[in-house]
Chain A
């Protein structure tokens, strides 16, 4: 059967493509970052905060800090809301509401980041500069870590909620019924029984959302202000790594070392995002195997 053999061979060849692509992305970025690493040590590049490409100074520290600040702000805002929402959906919500809620969540997940960014510019930025900053007795143009955090939080909500609801639904009904029959209220069932079973899964869901937040580019770029300084408060602007790449990557050829510095930034971003998302996935598969 020659056709059988042919398809098998073709399939085998194609199947190595994902492996090859993963290796290629890592290798190419590292290779392109290498020329700069010959002149300067990696810690010197990462922990220096002087960013003056024209003078040959490529300190990435403000950008790394900016990424961390924005992502952590989004994480703090998104986690309580999404955990409480997924709890409501899985334990309390009537069937009819679930049927409306799922399409809403899918829509929210499917909206492109430009739309989120635009929404941030239209509503969140005036909100931060006119209402939030005066409350905390500071001035802010609105283009700030907080604005980026709010936009990003809304963006990662669907990811966290979808995975958490799945995890919560996988907790066996017998366990809940046993606790209810002992006279526990529904909240106590959740607090003492469901959470014990589901907390690793919820943590993994949150980390998955976190890894999405790290790499988000356009929406953050539009609201974060893009100032390469070390941020001082949630109301000050920042310049995360993806925004650095988006703003400069296309025209980096003229200054020596610039290209390598940007490729190093891309490589660092890749490393940060992947370590988080792989951790979450590994954890999730471990749990799903244990329960099923």
Chain B
């Protein structure tokens, strides 16, 4: 191109081709590195988990000598994580759904209030989960709660809220304006248009958004570190502490006993499978539902 023409077009072209192939190799190497790092992560964890991966891992709670390497499993953490995440997602959904509906039906696309709310959701998205954990802990002290399922649920709900709201907002914004206008022209009001047309049209996207939030909630450790506590029993009440999978992994990995460390790998494998399952559901759902959508 513009630089360093040597006067010999043949040689010049060869040099340019060499630069091209050099960068092509670099690109290929980095892409391979990205793919390889995922493969390495999955393989190393699944491989290490094999010796400890027994059925009792997922069907039993820790026995008396569990942290010394004796009998037991992590059923408490599996159930706890599910309880915590489902509760948190429900709370987040209860706040996010009205916000998103209000943003998209009652406010103009570029109104000042709508932009401010979206901006504040972006700000919330950027806050690291350890800061949510600290904030949740301070809230907990203020309301004189102890580390419990309730406190953990509220904190994780705060972490999930911006993710859920922005993801739902994006899908609802994709609903064509013509569709809404057609409904209005038939005499429907905002409420009817939203519930009967917009939400149905956006349904697959909404389900995906919820599953993304569930995935984040399941894997987040920093926000539950001070708020959810930990227990070896299955949590049955709001005010009891609750065990979570990420913390189960974290604690077991810090153990000096190799048997317990192996169980940390097995717990990690369980968590990974759970998340893989969710991402598979997301993919198949979005494919299945998008067939029935009106364009």
Contact = CB atoms under 8 A, between A and B. Distances in A.
A187 B29 CA distance: 16
A216 B222 CA distance: 9
Contacts of B178: none
13 contacts: A82-B30, A85-B27, A105-B34, A107-B38, A112-B220, A114-B268, A118-B265, A211-B126, A215-B131, A216-B128, A245-B134, A269-B128, A274-B127
Contacts of A8: 102, 106, 190
Most buried by B among A3, A188, A192: A188
Contacts of B109: none
B127 A1 contact: no
Given A29-B135, A113-B221, A217 B45 contact: no
A184 B128 CA distance: 44
Contacts of B113: 15
B219 A112 contact: yes
A218 interface: yes
B285 interface: no
Contacts of A218: 221-222, 246, 250
Q: Which of B1, B45, B271 has the most chain A CB atoms inside 10 A of its CB?
A: B1
A89 interface: yes
B31 interface: yes
A217 B138 contact: no
A117 B272 CA distance: 13
A250 B137 contact: yes
A209 interface: no
B127 A112 contact: no
B37 A154 contact: yes
Contacts of A70: none
Contacts of B250: 114, 117, 218, 222
Interface stretch (A19-27, A57-65, A135-143, A167-175): A19-27
B35 A12 contact: no
A118 B246 contact: no
B44 to A, nearest CB: 5
A18 B133 contact: no
A104 B283 CA distance: 12
A108 B218 CA distance: 15
A88 B27 contact: yes
B279 A18 contact: no
B120 A187 contact: no
Given A19-B117, A84-B26, A249-B137, A114 B130 contact: no
Interface stretch (B12-20, B67-75, B179-187, B199-207): B12-20
Interface stretch (A35-43, A45-53, A119-127, A227-235): A119-127
Given A122-B44, A122-B48, A17 B95 contact: yes
Given A218-B221, A269-B131, A185 B17 contact: yes
Interface string B217-241: 0111110011000000000000000
Interface of A: 1, 3-4, 7-8, 10-12, 14-15, 17-19, 21-22, 24-25, 28-29, 32, 80-82, 84-85, 87-89, 92-93, 101, 103-108, 110-119, 121-123, 154, 157, 161, 184-188, 192, 211, 214-218, 222, 242, 245-246, 249-250, 262-263, 266, 269-270, 273-274, 277-278, 281
Contact of B271 (A29, A108, A115): A115
Contacts of A157: 34, 37
B219 A15 contact: no
Contacts of B156: none
B23 interface: yes
A161 B33 CA distance: 13
Contacts of A117: 250
Closest 10 CB pairs of A and B: A215-B128, A112-B219, A11-B102, A277-B126, A88-B27, A14-B98, A217-B222, A84-B30, A187-B20, A250-B226
